């Protein structure tokens, strides 16, 4: 069955990459969550999509210029009423210990390299003994290979936007167990060939009902969506069809 992974948590209805968005994704019945990580000035791994805090919080400036203590004072719950801090990755992993969700951690190390980020993320995953429920992804494929070298027991998956020729061959060449293509780069033939070659496929970001149906039809490994409630409803309908 195609898994439903809530993109930045249940971000269609709650502030992205907040604990509330993750709790609500689980409550909705998602199979997993996706989140983004950056590093603070003092090297804490924090969960936020942009390099800057401006769009999603009450503050302004680069994440990398904030000490963790200062960053925690910002409100990341712009859609909600109650104030909520930017989560530390450790906080999310601690919560994951109490459920069975899978978690796709996207390393946001394209603009800034964040030296040492891979080691820190892997240390946390190992500390919480979550290696078998985590998928590490990044648009920075050098980082993906580095993660594999540091921790071959943790699944990796390259993110990409434009079509790659035979992406399952590419994935195998970098020892990744999956691929995370932008939806437009994931036609049926690519998904089917990747699956035949034992490469998992998790396209992003899948919010339209017809695209969800198509992915369920080809038995895609997972879809990454802002709206897990919609994805669950369509999955139930698809399962009833002969």
The residues carrying an active-site annotation are 7, 49
For Ca ion, the binding residue among 44, 106, 118, 226 (CB under 5 A) is 106
> Nearest distance from residue 240's CB to ligand G3P, in Å?
29
Spatial separation of the C-alpha atoms in residues 64 and 96, rounded to whole Å = 26
Residue 227 touching Ca ion (CB under 5 A): no
Q: Are 76 and 20 in contact (CB under 8 A)?
A: no
Radius of gyration for the chain, computed over Cα atoms and rounded to the nearest angstrom: 17
For ligand G3P, the binding residue among 34, 44, 118, 227 (CB under 6 A) is 34
Q: Footprint of ligand G3P on residues 93-122 (CB under 6 A)?
A: 106
Residue 155 touching Ca ion (CB under 5 A): no
Least Cα distance to 200 among 228, 165, 167 occurs for: 167
| Neighbour tally for 97: CB within 10 Å | 10
Alpha helices in 155-208 (DSSP H): 167-173, 188-196
Residue 204 touching ligand G3P (CB under 6 A): yes
Least Cα distance to 178 among 129, 131, 231, 136 occurs for: 136
Q: Which one of Ca ion, ligand G3P, none interacts with residue 159, CB within 5 to 8 A by kind? A: ligand G3P
Residues that bind ligand G3P (CB under 6 A): 7, 34, 36, 49, 106, 137, 159, 180, 204, 224
Residues that bind Ca ion (CB under 5 A): 36, 106
């Amino acid at each position: 069955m195609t898994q439903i992974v809530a993109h930045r948590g249940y971000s269609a209805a709650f502030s992205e990459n907040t604990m509330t968005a993750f709790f609500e994704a689980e409550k909705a019945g998602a199979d997993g969550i996706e989140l983004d990580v950056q590093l603070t000035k003092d090297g804490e791994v924090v969960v936020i999509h942009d390099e800057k805090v401006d769009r999603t919080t009450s503050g302004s400036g680069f994440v990398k210029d904030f000490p963790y203590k200062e960053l925690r004072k910002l409100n990341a719950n712009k859609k909600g009423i109650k104030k909520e801090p930017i989560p530390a990755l450790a906080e999310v992993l601690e919560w994951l210990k109490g459920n069975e969700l899978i978690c796709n951690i996207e390393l946001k190390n394209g603009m800034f390299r964040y030296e040492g980020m891979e080691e820190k993320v892997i240390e946390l995953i190992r500390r919480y003994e979550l290696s078998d429920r985590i998928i590490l992804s990044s648009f920075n494929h050098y980082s993906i290979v580095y993660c594999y070298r540091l921790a071959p027991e943790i699944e990796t998956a390259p993110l990409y936007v434009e079509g790659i020729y035979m992406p399952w061959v590419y994935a195998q060449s970098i020892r990744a167990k999956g691929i995370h293509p932008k939806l437009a780069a994931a036609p049926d033939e690519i998904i089917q060939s990747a699956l035949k070659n034992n490469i998992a496929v998790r396209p992003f970001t899948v919010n339209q009902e017809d695209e969800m149906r198509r992915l369920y039809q080809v038995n895609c490994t997972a879809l990454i969506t802002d709206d897990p409630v919609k994805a669950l409803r369509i999955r139930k309908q698809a399962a009833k069809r002969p």
